[in-house]
Amino acid sequence: MNQTVLKMVLIASVAGMSSDIAIAQSNDSGCWSGKTSNGSNCVVSSASRKGERFIVTYTNQCSERVYVRACSARIGQSPDCGSRGIAARGQWNWSSFQATGRYRYGVIGSSVASQDWVCSGKVSNWNAPMF
User: 58-73: per-residue pLDDT in tens?
Assistant: 999 999 999 999 999 9
- pTM for this model (two decimals): 0.79
CA 108/CA 115 separation, integer angstroms: 11
Q: In what order do the strands lie in the sheet with 53-60?
A: 43-50, 53-60, 91-97
Average pLDDT of the residues in 7-29? 41
**Rounded CA gap, 110 and 113, in Å?**
7
Q: How many domains does the chain have?
A: 1
Give the tens place of pLDDT for each residue, 75-88.
999 999 999 999 99
Find the CATH number of the domain harbouring 40.
2.60.40.1180
The answer to whether the beta carbons of residues 104 and 70 sit under 8 Å apart is yes
DSSP secondary structure letter of residue 5:
P
pLDDT at 11: 30
Residue-number span of the structural domain to which 121 is assigned: 1-131
The Cα–Cα gap between 53 and 27 comes to 38
Looking at the chain, how many residues does it have?
131
